[in-house]
Amino acid sequence: MADLILPLDPSQRHFGGYVEAMGRQYRVSMACPQGRRGIVDLASFRCDPELSALLEARGVWDTLRARLAQTEDVEGFMAELTDVLEKVLRSCPKQDPPPAEFYSRLVSEIDAVGWSHLVSMDSLLTSVQLRERDAAGREHVFAISLPSNYPHSPPICSVDLPTHLNLRWSPGQSSLATVLEQFREALTPFHELWNVLDDLDKHTWVLEPEKPSRSTTHRRVAVARHCSVMLKIDPRAPGDVPEVRFLGSQAVIGPLREAYERNLFRWNHSLLVRANLEAALELKLPSPATTAKADYSADCGICYAYRLQRDDAAGDGGAAAAAAAAAAAAAVGAAGGGGGGGGTRGRGGGDESGGRGAAAEDAGAIPDRVCDNAKCRRPYHPKCLFVWLQGLPTSRVSFDTIFGQCPYCSDPISVKFAPNGQKEGRDELGLVDGRRQHTHGRMRTARKTA
Percentage of residues in the chain having pLDDT higher than 90 = 30
- What residues does 318 pair with on adjacent strands? none
* pLDDT of res. 440: 42
- Give the pLDDT confidence of 11-37 residue by residue, as tens digits: 778 888 888 887 778 888 888 877 777
Q: Is the pLDDT of residue 77 over 80?
A: yes
| pLDDT tens-digit map of 236-257 | 999 999 999 998 878 888 899 9
Q: Which residue ranges form the domains of the chain, and what is each CATH number?
A: 4-91 (no CATH), 100-188 (3.10.110.10), 192-295 (3.10.110.20), 299-327+365-419 (3.30.40.10)
- Residue 421's contacts (CB-CB under 8 Å, 6 or more residues apart) are 354, 355, 356, 357, 358
- pLDDT score, position 445: 42
Distance CA 384, CA 171 (A): 55
Residues 31-68: pLDDT tens digits?
A: 887 777 778 887 788 888 778 877 777 777 778 878 88
- Band (pLDDT 50/70/90 cuts) for residue 327 is very low
Closest of 65, 81, 127 to residue 360, by C-alpha: 65
pLDDT of residue 427: 32
Comparing 117 with 27, the larger pLDDT belongs to 117
Q: Cα–Cα distances in Å, from 126 out to 58, 223, 435?
A: 17, 47, 47
**Would residue 317 be called left, alpha or beta, if left means φ above 0 and alpha means ψ between -120 and 50 degrees?**
left
Q: Is the peptide bond before 209 cis (omega within 30 degrees of 0)?
A: yes
Q: Phi and psi at residue 230, in whole multiples of 5°?
A: -95, 125
pLDDT of residue 59: 78
Average pLDDT of span 330-346: 36
User: What mean pLDDT do residues 113-136 have?
Assistant: 91
Average pLDDT of every residue of the chain: 78
pLDDT at position 216 is 92
